[in-house]
């Protein structure tokens, strides 16, 4: 079977109410990446120098050599940038989350002590600040374990959160499988936390950002001056704050680096934004662990049976009757490239409807003729399917007067005689009177028009049935 792993649906059109503490309209999560002393360097056992996220335009690795200028930029982050940011955040009493690379933390004990003294969360940023793209899975698993061990040794407590950054396709699953992390952040796919099922583990994911991020000072297109950074943060904040005021509160992640935003001209934009954000009511500045604790308490995960993960036997048994007496539609749909987007009523309906639409005219006619007459002999004999019985009862078609019953029976007979298939309508969208009116109107249509109308109604009936079963 073909299964597509990416989730394009997420929370869909109606995300949950974040219900941030004290009615906050937005949660602003400030993240400071601490990478100084963990970057690519032959001193660290790497094959060459670092070339990522610095003020050196067009930097490239120097194989087998140290890059003095690159090193000095990272050194600035530790020597000056960190302390400027530390003064800013402690002076404003704004807590932050540190993404701390374990080997960088080990080489910077005074900065670690300052982080702890300030009450900041120190999450793991991996073992080394290197690219994991081509790392063999077992080596990455080993490095994750070593990062947690070294982090615990250096900080005194194990990390409760994780962000690799330059991750591999395996990173999220590997960090989740440790079973010890309250949150992971190696995704950029939402404005709210969400749960990810990894085997038996329900892992909370708190998405991160690469756009509300000072890395844009070191990439193209990017920021040139602090004012540009401020303006982008302000615009993002204003949009999300308004959504929160409208009842759909979100999270706003801001990514920072000591060697970038720690420069005087750049930090001015950040300070301007913090002053602006603090001028608003109902703004929450949490560490990411506080977001995780809130989400776990307020929005605990509930597993559902997912169509895309069912066996063929279960899938057909569960959805084979959605299109009346036509399990072949479910059988064909099972062979499609199903994924998380099809684990909802609308998503699965699309897959089933595709198979109905692509069927031959004779096959579709078979689906139409499988439908019972409305208020017909099968209904009287209580031989309808449970779905059809409930649907007809909802429109009071099981409680007709003798005159109404006679009218329906005559219309059924005349309609089938003219068109060759039963009159089909989504009764849950209608009342007894509107059904009767539609009956009298549609019987006069040409058969081609009625065939198309009946097929559309079959799809609508299927959609309503699925909404009884899936979110």
Residues in CB range of 373: below 8 A, 6 or more apart: 379, 408, 412, 416, 422, 423
Q: What is the largest CA-CA distance in the chain?
A: 96
Residues in CB range of 101: below 8 A, 6 or more apart: 34, 35, 37, 38, 124, 125, 126, 127, 128, 129, 147
3-state secondary structure of 445: coil
What structural domains and CATH numbers belong to the chain? Answer: 21-298 (3.20.20.370), 307-467 (1.10.3330.10)
3-state secondary structure of 395: coil
CA angle 357, 362, 363 (to 5 degrees): 50
pLDDT, residue 381, reads 42
Element containing residue 463 per DSSP (H, E): helix 447-467
CA pair distance 311, 172, nearest whole angstrom:
26
pTM value is 0.90
pLDDT, residue 382, reads 56
Catalytic amino acids?
371
Residues in CB range of 220: below 8 A, 6 or more apart: none
CA pair distance 371, 398, nearest whole angstrom:
16
Could you say which residues of the chain have pLDDT below 50?
381
pLDDT, residue 92, reads 97
pLDDT, residue 377, reads 54
Structure tokens at 206: 């708190």
**169-181 confidence digits (pLDDT tens):** 999 999 999 999 9
Residues in CB range of 311: below 8 A, 6 or more apart: none
**364-390 confidence digits (pLDDT tens):** 999 999 998 876 555 554 556 777 767
pLDDT, residue 379, reads 53
**300-323 confidence digits (pLDDT tens):** 999 999 999 999 999 999 999 999
Handedness of CA 183, 188, 190, 195 (dihedral sign): negative
CA pair distance 345, 340, nearest whole angstrom:
11
């Amino acid at each position: 079977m073909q299964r597509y792993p990416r989730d394009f649906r997420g929370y869909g059109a109606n995300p949950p109410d974040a219900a941030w503490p004290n009615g906050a309209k937005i949660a602003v999560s400030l993240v400071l990446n601490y990478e100084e002393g963990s970057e690519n360097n032959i001193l660290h056992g790497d094959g060459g120098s670092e070339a990522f996220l610095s003020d050196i335009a067009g930097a490239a690795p120097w194989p087998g050599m140290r890059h003095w200028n690159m090193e000095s930029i990272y050194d600035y982050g530790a020597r000056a940038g960190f302390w400027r940011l530390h003064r800013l955040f402690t002076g404003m009493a704004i807590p932050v989350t540190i993404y701390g690379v374990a080997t960088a933390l080990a080489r910077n004990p005074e900065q670690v002590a300052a982080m702890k003294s300030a009450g900041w969360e120190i999450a793991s940023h991996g073992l080394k600040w290197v690219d994991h793209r081509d790392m063999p899975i077992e080596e990455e698993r080993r490095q994750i374990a070593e990062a947690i061990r070294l982090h615990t040794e250096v900080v005194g407590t194990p990390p409760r959160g994780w962000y690799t950054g330059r991750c591999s396709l395996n990173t999220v699953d590997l960090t989740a499988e440790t079973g010890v992390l309250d949150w992971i952040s190696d995704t950029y796919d939402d404005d709210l936390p969400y749960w990810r099922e990894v085997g038996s583990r329900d892992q909370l994911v708190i998405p991160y950002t690469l756009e509300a991020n000072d890395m844009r000072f070191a990439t193209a297109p990017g920021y040139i001056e602090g004012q540009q950074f401020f303006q982008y943060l302000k615009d993002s904040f204003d949009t999300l704050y308004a959504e929160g005021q409208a009842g759909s509160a979100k999270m706003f992640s801001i990514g920072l680096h000591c060697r970038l935003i720690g420069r005087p001209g750049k930090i001015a934009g950040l300070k301007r934004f913090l002053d602006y954000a603090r001028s608003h009511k109902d703004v929450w500045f949490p560490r990411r662990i506080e977001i995780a604790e809130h989400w776990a308490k307020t929005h605990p995960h509930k597993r559902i049976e997912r169509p895309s993960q069912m066996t063929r036997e279960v899938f057909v048994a569960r959805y084979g009757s959605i299109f009346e007496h036509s399990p072949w539609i479910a059988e064909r749909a099972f062979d499609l490239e199903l994924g998380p987007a099809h684990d909802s009523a609308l998503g699965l309906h699309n897959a089933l409807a595709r198979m109905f639409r692509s069927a031959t005219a004779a096959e579709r006619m078979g689906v139409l003729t499988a439908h019972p007459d409305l208020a017909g002999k099968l209904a009287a004999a209580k031989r309808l399917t449970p779905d059809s019985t409930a649907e007809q009862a909802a429109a009071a078609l099981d409680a007709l007067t003798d005159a109404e019953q006679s009218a329906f029976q005559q219309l059924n007979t005349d309609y089938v005689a003219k068109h060759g298939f039963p009159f089909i309508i989504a009764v849950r969208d209608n009342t007894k009177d509107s059904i009767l009116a539609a009956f009298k109107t549609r019987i006069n249509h040409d058969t081609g028009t009625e065939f198309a109308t009946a097929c559309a109604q079959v799809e609508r009936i299927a959609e309503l049935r699925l909404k009884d079963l899936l979110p």
